Structure 1
Protein backbone atom coordinates (compact mmCIF):
# COMPACT_ATOMS: atom_id res chain seq x y z
CA UNK A 1 0.00 0.00 0.00
CA UNK A 2 2.87 2.38 0.73
CA UNK A 3 4.22 1.80 -2.75
CA UNK A 4 0.82 2.75 -4.24
CA UNK A 5 0.74 5.91 -2.11
CA UNK A 6 4.23 6.85 -3.23
CA UNK A 7 3.33 6.31 -6.89
CA UNK A 8 0.17 8.39 -6.51
CA UNK A 9 2.06 11.21 -4.80
CA UNK A 10 4.75 11.16 -7.50
CA UNK A 11 2.16 11.34 -10.29
CA UNK A 12 0.33 14.22 -8.61
CA UNK A 13 3.55 16.15 -8.07
CA UNK A 14 4.77 15.61 -11.62
CA UNK A 15 1.41 16.69 -13.03
CA UNK A 16 1.29 19.82 -10.88
CA UNK A 17 4.81 20.87 -11.78
CA UNK A 18 4.26 20.34 -15.50
CA UNK A 19 1.41 22.85 -15.64
CA UNK A 20 2.80 26.04 -17.18
CA UNK A 21 1.25 28.78 -19.27
CA UNK A 22 2.02 28.55 -22.98
CA UNK A 23 3.83 31.49 -24.54
CA UNK A 24 4.50 32.04 -28.18
CA UNK A 25 5.67 35.28 -29.71
CA UNK A 26 4.27 36.93 -32.81
CA UNK A 27 6.02 36.24 -36.10
CA UNK A 28 5.74 37.96 -39.46
CA UNK A 29 3.48 35.94 -41.77
CA UNK A 30 3.46 38.14 -44.88
CA UNK A 31 4.26 41.58 -46.20
CA UNK A 32 3.22 43.78 -49.10
CA UNK A 33 5.56 44.29 -50.86
CA UNK A 34 6.79 40.76 -50.32
CA UNK A 35 10.38 39.95 -49.45
CA UNK A 36 12.66 40.35 -52.53
CA UNK A 37 9.73 41.58 -54.67
CA UNK A 38 10.57 43.39 -57.90
CA UNK A 39 8.11 46.23 -58.47
CA UNK A 40 7.57 48.40 -61.55
CA UNK A 41 5.75 51.10 -59.57
CA UNK A 42 5.94 52.35 -56.01
CA UNK A 43 3.22 50.99 -53.71
CA UNK A 44 0.92 53.41 -51.87
CA UNK A 45 1.54 51.68 -48.55
CA UNK A 46 3.49 48.94 -46.81
CA UNK A 47 1.50 46.27 -44.98
CA UNK A 48 2.91 43.74 -42.52
CA UNK A 49 0.77 40.85 -41.27
CA UNK A 50 1.71 38.91 -38.14
CA UNK A 51 0.34 35.59 -36.85
CA UNK A 52 -1.13 37.29 -33.75
CA UNK A 53 -2.06 40.76 -32.56
CA UNK A 54 0.65 43.32 -31.87
CA UNK A 55 0.59 46.31 -29.54
CA UNK A 56 -0.36 49.53 -31.28
CA UNK A 57 1.66 51.93 -29.13
CA UNK A 58 5.10 50.49 -29.93
CA UNK A 59 5.00 49.83 -33.70
CA UNK A 60 7.76 51.33 -35.85
CA UNK A 61 8.06 50.85 -39.60
CA UNK A 62 10.67 52.42 -41.86
CA UNK A 63 11.10 52.33 -45.62
CA UNK A 64 14.65 53.22 -46.56
CA UNK A 65 16.13 53.63 -50.04
CA UNK A 66 19.65 52.72 -51.10
CA UNK A 67 20.60 56.38 -50.54
CA UNK A 68 19.36 56.07 -46.90
CA UNK A 69 16.33 58.32 -47.58
CA UNK A 70 13.25 57.63 -45.45
CA UNK A 71 10.03 57.10 -47.43
CA UNK A 72 7.37 56.38 -44.81
CA UNK A 73 4.75 59.15 -45.00
CA UNK A 74 2.71 58.31 -41.89
CA UNK A 75 2.88 56.78 -38.47
CA UNK A 76 2.24 53.01 -38.50
CA UNK A 77 -1.40 52.03 -38.05
CA UNK A 78 -2.00 48.80 -36.14
CA UNK A 79 -5.22 46.86 -36.68
CA UNK A 80 -4.95 43.64 -34.67
CA UNK A 81 -2.24 41.63 -36.40
CA UNK A 82 -1.78 44.02 -39.35
CA UNK A 83 0.54 47.04 -39.41
CA UNK A 84 0.30 49.56 -42.26
CA UNK A 85 2.34 52.65 -43.08
CA UNK A 86 1.53 54.99 -45.98
CA UNK A 87 4.12 55.90 -48.58
CA UNK A 88 4.26 59.09 -50.61
CA UNK A 89 5.86 57.45 -53.61
CA UNK A 90 9.44 56.27 -53.64
CA UNK A 91 12.58 57.75 -55.14
CA UNK A 92 14.86 56.43 -57.82
CA UNK A 93 14.89 52.88 -59.06
CA UNK A 94 16.92 50.65 -56.79
CA UNK A 95 16.92 48.65 -53.58
CA UNK A 96 14.59 49.52 -50.72
CA UNK A 97 14.30 47.99 -47.25
CA UNK A 98 11.30 47.85 -44.96
CA UNK A 99 12.47 47.82 -41.37
CA UNK A 100 10.06 47.00 -38.58
CA UNK A 101 9.90 46.71 -34.83
CA UNK A 102 6.65 45.74 -33.16
CA UNK A 103 5.77 44.37 -29.76
CA UNK A 104 3.71 41.21 -29.58
CA UNK A 105 0.70 40.98 -27.30
CA UNK A 106 2.85 39.14 -24.72
CA UNK A 107 5.31 42.05 -24.53
CA UNK A 108 8.20 40.68 -26.60
CA UNK A 109 9.69 42.89 -29.35
CA UNK A 110 9.88 41.51 -32.87
CA UNK A 111 12.23 43.12 -35.39
CA UNK A 112 13.14 42.40 -38.96
CA UNK A 113 13.74 43.78 -42.42
CA UNK A 114 12.28 43.06 -45.83
CA UNK A 115 14.20 44.02 -48.96
CA UNK A 116 12.49 44.79 -52.26
CA UNK A 117 13.47 46.38 -55.54
CA UNK A 118 11.88 49.20 -57.55
CA UNK A 119 12.65 49.02 -61.28
CA UNK A 120 11.15 52.38 -62.33
CA UNK A 121 11.65 55.21 -59.89
CA UNK A 122 10.20 58.70 -59.63
CA UNK A 123 12.12 61.76 -58.54
CA UNK A 124 9.86 62.45 -55.53
CA UNK A 125 11.59 63.96 -52.50
CA UNK A 126 11.49 61.75 -49.43
CA UNK A 127 9.19 62.50 -46.51
CA UNK A 128 11.24 64.64 -44.15
CA UNK A 129 8.77 65.54 -41.42
CA UNK A 130 8.79 62.11 -39.81
CA UNK A 131 11.76 60.59 -38.03
CA UNK A 132 11.72 56.79 -38.10
CA UNK A 133 15.41 56.14 -37.52
CA UNK A 134 16.62 53.23 -35.46
CA UNK A 135 17.98 55.62 -32.85
CA UNK A 136 14.43 56.85 -32.15
CA UNK A 137 13.05 53.40 -31.40
CA UNK A 138 11.46 53.16 -27.99
CA UNK A 139 13.00 50.74 -25.52
CA UNK A 140 11.43 47.32 -25.30
CA UNK A 141 8.44 47.71 -23.02
CA UNK A 142 7.90 45.63 -19.97
CA UNK A 143 4.46 44.09 -19.69
CA UNK A 144 2.36 46.21 -17.36
CA UNK A 145 0.31 43.34 -16.10
CA UNK A 146 0.57 39.60 -16.16
CA UNK A 147 -1.71 37.69 -18.52
CA UNK A 148 -3.11 35.75 -15.59
CA UNK A 149 -2.20 34.08 -12.37
CA UNK A 150 0.45 31.37 -12.87
CA UNK A 151 -1.00 27.91 -12.49
CA UNK A 152 2.00 26.16 -10.97
CA UNK A 153 1.32 27.32 -7.36
CA UNK A 154 -2.21 25.92 -7.56
CA UNK A 155 -0.87 22.67 -9.01
CA UNK A 156 1.74 22.43 -6.25
CA UNK A 157 -0.90 22.93 -3.54
CA UNK A 158 -3.13 20.31 -5.19
CA UNK A 159 -0.21 17.88 -5.33
CA UNK A 160 0.77 18.39 -1.70
CA UNK A 161 -2.80 18.15 -0.44
CA UNK A 162 -3.43 15.10 -2.65
CA UNK A 163 -0.27 13.37 -1.45
CA UNK A 164 -1.13 14.15 2.17
CA UNK A 165 -4.65 12.82 1.63
CA UNK A 166 -3.36 9.60 0.09
CA UNK A 167 -0.86 9.11 2.91
CA UNK A 168 -3.51 9.89 5.54
CA UNK A 169 -5.92 7.39 4.01
CA UNK A 170 -3.27 4.67 3.77
CA UNK A 171 -1.68 5.07 7.20
CA UNK A 172 -2.14 2.30 9.67
CA UNK A 173 -4.67 3.15 12.28
CA UNK A 174 -3.58 2.32 15.76
CA UNK A 175 -6.27 1.25 18.27
Structure 2
Protein backbone atom coordinates (compact mmCIF):
# COMPACT_ATOMS: atom_id res chain seq x y z
CA UNK A 1 0.00 0.00 0.00
CA UNK A 2 2.83 2.43 0.81
CA UNK A 3 4.35 1.78 -2.60
CA UNK A 4 1.08 2.84 -4.32
CA UNK A 5 0.87 6.05 -2.28
CA UNK A 6 4.49 6.89 -3.02
CA UNK A 7 4.00 6.23 -6.74
CA UNK A 8 0.86 8.40 -6.84
CA UNK A 9 2.63 11.24 -5.03
CA UNK A 10 5.56 11.03 -7.42
CA UNK A 11 3.25 11.18 -10.45
CA UNK A 12 1.52 14.28 -9.05
CA UNK A 13 4.83 16.04 -8.33
CA UNK A 14 6.23 15.28 -11.77
CA UNK A 15 3.09 16.52 -13.50
CA UNK A 16 3.28 19.84 -11.63
CA UNK A 17 6.79 20.46 -12.92
CA UNK A 18 5.45 21.23 -16.40
CA UNK A 19 3.25 24.16 -15.34
CA UNK A 20 4.36 27.62 -16.47
CA UNK A 21 5.78 29.88 -13.78
CA UNK A 22 3.60 32.79 -12.70
CA UNK A 23 5.48 36.05 -12.38
CA UNK A 24 4.62 39.70 -11.88
CA UNK A 25 5.81 42.58 -14.01
CA UNK A 26 9.35 43.73 -13.33
CA UNK A 27 11.02 47.10 -13.70
CA UNK A 28 13.45 46.82 -16.63
CA UNK A 29 14.50 50.45 -17.15
CA UNK A 30 14.28 53.77 -15.35
CA UNK A 31 15.08 57.38 -16.12
CA UNK A 32 16.79 58.82 -14.24
CA UNK A 33 18.72 55.58 -13.82
CA UNK A 34 19.13 54.11 -10.33
CA UNK A 35 22.26 55.12 -8.40
CA UNK A 36 23.38 57.70 -10.97
CA UNK A 37 24.61 61.23 -10.46
CA UNK A 38 23.25 63.88 -12.81
CA UNK A 39 24.53 67.41 -13.45
CA UNK A 40 21.12 68.76 -14.50
CA UNK A 41 17.61 68.24 -13.19
CA UNK A 42 15.61 65.55 -15.00
CA UNK A 43 12.29 66.62 -16.51
CA UNK A 44 10.45 63.47 -15.49
CA UNK A 45 10.64 60.02 -13.99
CA UNK A 46 10.00 57.34 -16.63
CA UNK A 47 9.75 53.70 -15.55
CA UNK A 48 9.54 50.84 -18.06
CA UNK A 49 8.32 47.36 -17.15
CA UNK A 50 8.56 44.02 -18.96
CA UNK A 51 4.74 43.74 -19.20
CA UNK A 52 1.81 46.08 -19.61
CA UNK A 53 0.42 47.79 -16.54
CA UNK A 54 -3.23 48.10 -15.58
CA UNK A 55 -4.62 51.56 -14.88
CA UNK A 56 -7.27 51.22 -12.16
CA UNK A 57 -7.48 54.97 -11.65
CA UNK A 58 -6.95 56.70 -8.35
CA UNK A 59 -3.78 55.85 -6.47
CA UNK A 60 -3.18 52.37 -7.92
CA UNK A 61 -0.18 53.53 -9.98
CA UNK A 62 1.93 56.17 -8.25
CA UNK A 63 5.36 57.78 -8.50
CA UNK A 64 6.53 59.75 -5.47
CA UNK A 65 9.90 61.49 -5.18
CA UNK A 66 11.47 62.60 -1.90
CA UNK A 67 14.60 64.63 -1.17
CA UNK A 68 17.39 63.82 1.31
CA UNK A 69 15.23 65.21 4.16
CA UNK A 70 12.44 62.80 3.17
CA UNK A 71 10.28 65.71 1.97
CA UNK A 72 8.10 65.12 -1.07
CA UNK A 73 9.12 66.82 -4.29
CA UNK A 74 6.33 68.21 -6.47
CA UNK A 75 5.56 65.89 -9.39
CA UNK A 76 2.64 65.94 -11.76
CA UNK A 77 0.03 63.24 -12.11
CA UNK A 78 1.34 59.71 -12.64
CA UNK A 79 0.55 58.50 -16.16
CA UNK A 80 0.22 54.86 -17.27
CA UNK A 81 0.89 54.13 -20.96
CA UNK A 82 1.16 50.45 -21.88
CA UNK A 83 4.23 49.18 -19.99
CA UNK A 84 5.42 52.60 -18.81
CA UNK A 85 4.75 54.72 -15.76
CA UNK A 86 5.76 58.40 -15.76
CA UNK A 87 5.46 61.64 -13.83
CA UNK A 88 6.88 65.06 -14.72
CA UNK A 89 8.59 67.37 -12.26
CA UNK A 90 6.78 70.65 -11.59
CA UNK A 91 10.11 72.52 -11.40
CA UNK A 92 13.85 71.89 -11.59
CA UNK A 93 15.30 69.86 -8.75
CA UNK A 94 18.04 71.34 -6.56
CA UNK A 95 21.43 69.73 -6.02
CA UNK A 96 20.99 66.78 -3.67
CA UNK A 97 19.99 63.15 -3.28
CA UNK A 98 16.53 61.91 -4.25
CA UNK A 99 14.53 58.73 -3.78
CA UNK A 100 11.96 57.56 -6.33
CA UNK A 101 9.17 55.48 -4.78
CA UNK A 102 6.84 53.71 -7.20
CA UNK A 103 3.80 51.46 -7.08
CA UNK A 104 2.06 49.90 -10.08
CA UNK A 105 -0.48 47.21 -10.92
CA UNK A 106 0.95 44.48 -13.13
CA UNK A 107 -0.98 42.81 -15.96
CA UNK A 108 -1.92 39.91 -13.67
CA UNK A 109 -3.63 42.36 -11.29
CA UNK A 110 -1.04 42.19 -8.52
CA UNK A 111 0.47 45.36 -7.06
CA UNK A 112 4.23 45.75 -7.38
CA UNK A 113 6.42 48.43 -5.85
CA UNK A 114 9.97 49.55 -5.38
CA UNK A 115 12.32 52.44 -4.85
CA UNK A 116 15.70 53.68 -6.02
CA UNK A 117 17.95 56.70 -5.56
CA UNK A 118 19.69 59.20 -7.79
CA UNK A 119 21.65 62.39 -7.13
CA UNK A 120 22.17 65.79 -8.70
CA UNK A 121 25.49 67.63 -8.35
CA UNK A 122 26.79 70.96 -9.59
CA UNK A 123 28.30 71.03 -13.03
CA UNK A 124 32.11 71.25 -12.88
TM-score by length of 1: 0.55
TM-score by length of 2: 0.76
The runs of 5 or more residues in structure 1 that have no matched partner are: 1-9, 122-175
**1:30 aligned onto 2:29:** yes
In the TM superposition, 1:6-155 aligns within 5 A as 18=16, 20=19, 22-57=21-56, 58-120=60-122
The structure whose Rg is larger is 1
Q: What is the RMSD of the two structures over their aligned residues, measured on CA atoms? A: 2.3
Task: Note the C-alpha offset of 1:68.
Answer: 2.3
CA, structure 1 residues 106+65, in 2 after alignment: closer, same or farther (shift >3 Å)? same
The runs of 5 or more residues in structure 2 that have no matched partner are: 1-7
Task: Note the C-alpha offset of 1:110.
Answer: 1.1
Provide Cα deviations, 1:4-57, integer angstroms capped at 9, x if missing partner.
Answer: xxxxxx8xx75xx54646421101001000001111111111000001011122
8 Å contact from structure 2 (residues 41, 94) kept in 1? no
Structure with greater strand share of residues: 2
Count of residue correspondences: 109
Structure with greater helix share of residues: 1
Provide Cα deviations, 1:107-127, integer angstroms capped at 9, x if missing partner.
Answer: 222111110001139xxxxxx
Which ranges of 4 or more aligned residues in structure 1 deviate by more than 2 Å? 17-22, 89-92
